[in-house]
Amino acid sequence: MNKNNPMKWNKQLFLSVICVMLEGLLSGCNFMVMYYIFQSLWKQQMVMGKIMEITGSIAVIFLIRLIIYSFGYVQGQVGGASVSKHIRLFLGDKLRKIPLSRFQKSMTGEYINVATENVNSYEQILTHKMGDIIKNLTLTVMLIIFIATLYIPSALILLAAELLFIPAIAISFRAVKKYGIKKNAICAENVSSMVEYITGIQTFRAYGIGGTKNKSVTSSMKKFSDISFIYELKIIPDGVVYSILIGCTLPLEIMVAGDSWMSGRLETTPFVIICLLPLYLTKLLGTIFVDMTSYKNLMIAKQKINAVVEIPEEIQTNQVFAPQKHDIIFEHVDFSYEKGETICRDMNIRIEDQKLTAIVGDSGSGKSTVLNLISKYYDPDAGDIRIGGCSIQNMGTEQVLSQISTVDQDVFLFDDTIQNNIRYARVQATNEEIEKACREANCDEFIRKMPQGYDTMAGENGNQLSGGERQRLSIARAILKDAPILLLDEATANLDVENELAVKQAIVNLLKKKKTVVIIAHTMSIVKNSDKILVIADGKVKEEGKHEELLRINGKYAAMWKAEQQL
């Protein structure tokens, strides 16, 4: 695979182009044979021997064309599929190296569209459109040269018709550039909308908003339908006008060549051929126009692929990230998801090594953002974050994450066995280690009650399991990974009483080991025994200390505590 240019052509594609050009030239030879037939008939020289000679010539031309076409077609398909394969492999590797923040900021549909629809479109260019265009252009040029050998004025008329192709296709290309890009963007948006709808359809229906979201999807599809209509509306008239203009070559040829034929300057056979060929060339040029317009539209796919190829990759370093301690320091950190909407403002935090630190605050205050910055899902706009005295700024995200286990509200599970879903935390783990982690995570019992036990399929995104069961599996992953830093983000939110108790017990087991733990909780009773509590508001740490200390301050935390006690 070419690392710098995954779309680079291979020798099979070049061979395919050579073959289609040769096949185009040979298909033009049929008109020369036709000319020879008409000439023989007009001069009454057609005899059986000549018929056999002509038939043999046609058969030989056909056989050679068949061989060349078959070879070229296979080379084109193999070459195109190979390039497509390399692009997909490159994109798979590229997406692994793109900063994780890109997946948060970009629509899901954009990357899905590039990896599927756009790659398919580019493959269609290589395997079909490119060959058709080259073959037909070659045939057109050959036929004009052939007409020039018969009667130059007729060739000039056909050449003028072909030159009209340049402004016509230029107008078409402008329309494709303007509306095709819009169409592609709306298509990506439509894919995102469909993915969101299908993924969340159970939730939508559970809350009775399936119809509302369906309207949203329908609206997205309507936008795609509208842009498709506008796209055709802007391009079709240009093609129709061009078809009319090149169609005028037939009466013009008949007038010009007919005058020469009537005056004896042109023989009958060339005159007949000259009258017939414009019909064929009109259709041929129309086909080229459609194929070139389609080609330009499909090339938008190449631009989209290139846009992903050119995304700056995450900094890769050979420096090993293995801090001796795991305290976490924020120094004057500024951060915003969108420009002008600051989340963290000159934030200073000290999370002590092997201590339990809780973060509380109102919704939208920046609690989860702190965990995202520690995990290096995002990089701060200013300031520095250090783990064990080592700045994570120039470290790869995967290196930083190797030191971190995360348990949050949204648990992602693969459509794989429960055992394999847990093993992703530590690929080399034995079955016994996985089962031990599950016992500590309070999920061994419900797993063994399932039809195939640990070999039971979790379903797409774990849809065969309840929220509490998925959450406990997430804790089992964290126990199995045994990373020195543990981040818990609202791990008990949105659970019923029974599952919340089971998850809390699993968290207690997880906290027994000496780790640097940062927990975000929606209830004060969960965090009251923390070694330190940070109260975040307006992107800053407003208060910090132990539970009793913060109550004595009688500030934000005390107000939150009193409100919960009243409930």
The CATH number assigned to the domain holding 33 equals 1.20.1560.10
Tokens found for residue 105: 């900021």
The full DSSP string for 126-147 is IIIIHHHHHHHHHHHHHHHHHH
With respect to residue 294, please indicate whether it lies within any of the assigned structural domains.
Answer: yes
Q: Is residue 249 in some structural domain?
A: yes
What is the pLDDT at residue 278? 82
> Number of folded domains in the chain?
1
Q: How far is residue 394's CA from residue 228's CA, in Å, rounded to a whole number?
A: 45
- Is position 219 within any domain? yes
User: Could you write out the DSSP letters of every residue in 403-452?
Assistant: TEEEEESS----SSBHHHHHHTTSTT--HHHHHHHHHHTT-HHHHHTSTT
- What is the pLDDT at residue 172? 85
Range of the domain at 113: 11-309
Burial string for 356-380 (b: 16+ CB within 10 Å, else e) reads bbbbbbeeebbbbbbbbbbbbbbbb
pLDDT of residue 1: 46
Query: CA end-to-end span of the chain, whole Å?
Result: 62
- pLDDT value for 106: 47
Looking at residue 201, its pLDDT comes to: 66
Q: Are 87 and 122 in contact (CB under 8 A)?
A: yes
Residue 180, pLDDT score: 78
Q: Distances from the Cα of 292 to the Cαs of 127, 383, 501, in angstroms?
A: 14, 52, 65
Residue 371 domain-assigned (yes or no): no
CA 88 to chain centre: 10
Per run of 10 residues, the mean pLDDT along the chain (length 567 residues) is 71 90 86 81 76 84 90 89 88 78 60 81 85 88 88 88 85 83 75 69 57 67 81 80 82 86 86 84 86 84 83 72 88 85 86 89 84 88 90 84 84 86 88 89 87 86 79 86 86 62 71 83 78 88 89 88 81
The residue count of the chain comes to: 567
Say if 401 falls within a structural domain: no
Say if 101 falls within a structural domain.
yes
With respect to residue 491, please indicate whether it lies within any of the assigned structural domains.
no
pTM of the model: 0.65
* Residue 54 resides in a domain: yes
